[in-house]
Amino acid sequence: MKWFPSFGFQRRKRELQEEIDAHLQMAIADRVARGETAETARQEAAREFGNIPLVQDVTRDMWGQAWLEQLGRDVRYALRQLRKSPGFSITATAMLAVAICANSTVFSWIDGTMLRPIPGARDTGDLVSLQRGEWNFSPTPPFSYLDYRDLREQNHTFAGILAYHHDWITLTGGAQPERAYISNVSANYFDVLGIKPVLGRFFLPEEESRPVPNVVLSYSLWKTRYAEDPAIVGKSIEIARHPVTVIGVAPEGVVGAMPGIREDLWVTLDPLGTDVWRMTHRSGGAVWLNVIGRLRPGVSRGQAAQDLDTVMHNIVAAFPDDHLGDNRITLDPMWRSPFGANGYMAATLPILLAFAAVVLLLTCANVATLTLVRFVSRRRELAIRQSLGANRIQLVRQMVLEGVVLSIVAGAVALVLTSWTSKTFAWFFPANSNPLILNGSMDHKVVIGIAVSSLLVGMLCGALPAWRSSHAPAVEVLKAESASISGGSRNRKLLSGLVVAQIALSLPLLLCSGLFLRTLRNLAGANPGFEQDHILTATVGLNIAGYSHNEEQVIRHKILDRVSALPGVKVASLTDWIPMALSHKGEDAYPEGYVPHPHESLKVAHAEVSPRYFESLHIPVLEGREFTPDDDEKAPRVLIVDQTAARRYWPGQDPLGKELRVWGRLFTVVGVVRNSTHTFVNESPEPMVYMSFFQAGYETMVQVETEGNPVDLAPAVQNAIHEIDTRLPVFDVRSMRESTQMASSFAVIQSTLAGMFALIGLVLAITGIYGVVAYRTQLRTHEIGIRMALGASRVDVLRLVLLQGFWLTGIGLALGLVFALGLTRIIVRLLYGIGANDPVTVVSVVMLLGAMSLLACYLPAHRAMRRNPVTAIREL
């Protein structure tokens, strides 16, 4: 077997041989010339020269290539040894592969989301996302265009600041309107991201706020809808029935600046000139932009935040009425930007990676146990080789190499597995209205990660046992072969230590997964405060299809009438928000006459709902009334508050008839409804105000309470809407149950992975303790035989074996408990309805692990007990 192609090496070896031959020939010739016989001359010359292979060997050391040859030899030796015990090799490789794969899978998810927040952008590490006011987990866009422009122009710390507003729209002009995700962007959007067009150009500074109907297409849209038309630039396409001109195409893979969310096309901030109001105001509906900045080189996030705070302070001083509430600016790196998906990722994935690392450690301990046992059983061979002149470093090197060979193979297997598992991340997200593009990625970072971890693992699994085994004094081993039980007390201690470590490491995994599973159950069983069954929702793309406002209102009424009349429909209503689907609308609201403190944030969530909305969701109206069809644009503005809002604004008073100022307009409270969940079951209560759909509704979603399975009614609802106008785009027709699954998808990810990791941990710990106790009992067969012959009962033998397992388990559990209670602190935030040290979970997990490991000890104990003492004594 030839491992390393080294032509130069072979040639030099040959030359050295020739050189030595020449030396000998000349020596012989000299001796013959002095009168010796040819035979004596040859013998004497050879004697004088010395050990030829040794001279070659030492000389070759000088070439600096010897290590390569040596490595090849050692690798061959390691492979031979591993082939000799296929059981061990396969088990160890499989375990390591699974453990490495657990890590690389989670890492590939982190890599695909947090580490690649904006695909295609240059140096995303320099990008920060800006937030104004209280730090929020699912914030609404924080800036108005004018505020954004002032920040952009007056700061001293940014190379550029971009703004965008994410929305969706319909592509018309085809047979059926098609939904597309669009961003209104500042002109410098692509510049700040560092992206160049593949076709045409991007936006010019002078186009930013002027009504120029230009559009940039994403690569995938250009490919799928326009068949990669090379002459697309300059052509006119139709968006929401308005003609716009294509000016450029973005490169492949570019999906926009909101992490995890796809954008298909980009237009400037006011491409049709219809948003003049939004472009010229600083509050209310004009606060609509998400903002991302690129730091100047050498500027820290803290310095930049201070700089922006100063600018913002001046803006607030100049326009105080537009900036009530908290105006402090916080900056987040893109990997945990709260806009888009990364906020959620950053809260979940690093913890899962930590779990995976524990699994890897646990596996190392397990494989190290197996390796140590193997080396102990090979101690005779090692001793013989040592006494034949192998030095300790060489022995250790070879043994470590066996571990490294195993882990390299395991790494290769893990690489293949990960290329598949990295793509499973998307499975965790149910169908929803957000254009999520979350998935793992398998790039060089993951490959390097696998390589590094497998090498480290190999060292860890091989080095510790190897070092220990090489310690054994050769003479002692060879002399006292039979007497040394389990390879000396040092090895016994190491074995015990490894078993204790495995139990101690698996306990926290089990505890965390137990807590996550119970959290999941609590989430599923929690009452969100509204009905989830028998509800169907459908989104009608009305505002994006290009109708006039009056047409829209007429169509909305028609939809409500038609859908209500459908058989099987109990109640139909309209809304522009679906709870627990990761969408959130927030606004500042102030009671009439209330003067907010500086930096006081009075944010409320809001939704616009039609009559009978609360009835269909079974949300009780506690005081006052629901909306009626009379609450339309001609009537006085009204709103309904939930209990939290009522308590916040009018504690101890009757909220009915009170007034609240939102978007600068006064609304009168006409009702109070019970609290219900907005985004997550475990959210902290946030005040909510409902406004009348026909006074303030923006998007149109039909919400139907059905008699039977809501999904069965989907086609009928769609048909009813299309009967009004066949071109009406209808999207996201699904049951409320399905929509609200989105809210628990992260809990599902956590509990699924933690559960899998815990199961691996349990299996490893149990097999680990079983293996060690069984092995040790086997070595003590002789001793047990003598004990029994001397009168020990079977129960004594059982106790003898069980006791050592008991001690190992006990110490492992005690250490593990300390470790686990420390670890659960970092997952507190992810739990719901259960404490981090929940006694029931702790006790049951400890019992489970303890019982399982005692069972694992019982099997070998039982076997030892039933041995015939006579055969046991004979066995050595």
Does residue number 67 form part of the binding site for other proteins (CB under 8 A)? no
Does residue number 875 form part of the binding site for other proteins (CB under 8 A)? no
Among 6, 9, 23, 272, binds other proteins (CB under 8 A): 23
Count of residues that bind other proteins according to CB under 8 A: 25
Instruction: Write each residue from 632 to 651 as x if it is in contact with other proteins (CB under 8 A), else as -, in one continuous string.
Output: --------------------
What lies within 8 Å, CB to CB, of 156 at 6+ separation is 307
Residue whose CB is less far from other proteins, 30 or 654: 30
Exposure class string for 841-850: b at 16+ Cβ within 10 A, else e: bbeebbeebb
Among 1, 54, 595, 795, binds other proteins (CB under 8 A): 54
Minimum distance of other proteins from residue 43's CB (angstroms):
16
Do residues 255 and 436 lie in contact, with contact meaning Cβ atoms separated by under 8 Å? no
Exposure class string for 315-338: b at 16+ Cβ within 10 A, else e: bbeebeebbbbbbbbbbbbbbbbb
Stretch that binds other proteins, among 60-68, 110-118, 483-491, 646-654 (CB under 8 A): 60-68
Stretch that binds other proteins, among 58-66, 280-288, 680-688, 741-749 (CB under 8 A): 58-66
Residue whose CB is less far from other proteins, 38 or 635: 38
Q: Within 13 Å and on the Cβ side, how many CA atoms surround 447?
A: 5
Residue whose CB is less far from other proteins, 20 or 811: 20
CA angle 346, 513, 117 (to 5 degrees): 15
Distances (CA, A) of 192 to 115, 120, 162, 454, 482: 18, 12, 7, 39, 75
CA atoms of 275 and 273, how far apart (whole Å): 6
Minimum distance of other proteins from residue 346's CB (angstroms):
54
Residue whose CB is less far from other proteins, 56 or 91: 56
Interface residues for other proteins in 585-604 (CB under 8 A)?
Answer: none
Does residue number 50 form part of the binding site for other proteins (CB under 8 A)? yes
Does residue number 13 form part of the binding site for other proteins (CB under 8 A)? no
Minimum distance of other proteins from residue 58's CB (angstroms):
5
Residue whose CB is less far from other proteins, 24 or 526: 24
Does residue number 64 form part of the binding site for other proteins (CB under 8 A)? yes
What lies within 8 Å, CB to CB, of 80 at 6+ separation is none
Minimum distance of other proteins from residue 14's CB (angstroms):
12
Among 6, 9, 13, 16, binds other proteins (CB under 8 A): 16
Minimum distance of other proteins from residue 492's CB (angstroms):
33
Among 4, 10, 40, 58, binds other proteins (CB under 8 A): 58
Minimum distance of other proteins from residue 363's CB (angstroms):
40
Does residue number 29 form part of the binding site for other proteins (CB under 8 A)? yes
CA atoms of 223 and 548, how far apart (whole Å): 32
Instruction: Write each residue from 385 to 414 as x if it is in contact with other proteins (CB under 8 A), else as -, in one continuous string.
Output: ----x-------------------------
Does residue number 32 form part of the binding site for other proteins (CB under 8 A)? no
Does residue number 779 form part of the binding site for other proteins (CB under 8 A)? no
Residue whose CB is less far from other proteins, 55 or 353: 55
Question: Which residues pair with residue 841 across a beta bridge?
Answer: none
Q: How far apart are the first and last CA of the chain?
A: 39
CA angle 44, 47, 49 (to 5 degrees): 110
Minimum distance of other proteins from residue 389's CB (angstroms):
5
Minimum distance of other proteins from residue 413's CB (angstroms):
40
- From the number of C-beta atoms within 10 Å of its C-beta (0-12, 13-18, 19+), residue 482 rates as exposed
Residue whose CB is less far from other proteins, 33 or 876: 33
Does residue number 63 form part of the binding site for other proteins (CB under 8 A)? yes
Amino acid (1-letter code) at residue 92: A
Q: Within 13 Å and on the Cβ side, how many CA atoms surround 820?
A: 30
Closest C-alpha among 113, 115, 677 to residue 428: 113
Amino acid (1-letter code) at residue 32: V
Minimum distance of other proteins from residue 13's CB (angstroms):
12
Residue whose CB is less far from other proteins, 11 or 722: 11
Residue 722: strand, helix, or coil: helix
Residue whose CB is less far from other proteins, 1 or 62: 62
Among 9, 13, 20, 463, binds other proteins (CB under 8 A): 20
CA atoms of 160 and 542, how far apart (whole Å): 36
Instruction: Annotate 506-526 with three-state secondary structure.
Output: HHHHHHHHHHHHHHHHHHHHC
The alpha carbons of the chain give a radius of gyration, in whole angstroms, of 37
Q: Which two tokens stand for residue 80?
A: 């031979």
Interface residues for other proteins in 290-309 (CB under 8 A)?
Answer: none
Dihedral angle sign, alpha carbons of residues 352, 355, 357, 363: negative
Cβ atoms within 10 A of the Cβ of 106, count?
Answer: 27
Does residue number 526 form part of the binding site for other proteins (CB under 8 A)? no
Stretch that binds other proteins, among 36-44, 47-55, 264-272, 846-854 (CB under 8 A): 47-55
Residue whose CB is less far from other proteins, 60 or 727: 60
Phi and psi torsions of 531, nearest 5°: -75, 130
Stretch that binds other proteins, among 22-30, 348-356, 593-601, 626-634 (CB under 8 A): 22-30
Closest C-alpha among 647, 643, 652, 642 to residue 613: 642
Does residue number 35 form part of the binding site for other proteins (CB under 8 A)? no
Among 10, 19, 490, 709, binds other proteins (CB under 8 A): 19
Minimum distance of other proteins from residue 456's CB (angstroms):
33
Does residue number 17 form part of the binding site for other proteins (CB under 8 A)? no
CA atoms of 110 and 350, how far apart (whole Å): 8
CA atoms of 44 and 515, how far apart (whole Å): 83
Does residue number 26 form part of the binding site for other proteins (CB under 8 A)? yes
* Interacting residue ranges for other proteins, rule: CB under 8 A: 15-16, 18-20, 22-23, 25-27, 29-30, 49-51, 54-55, 57-59, 61-64, 389
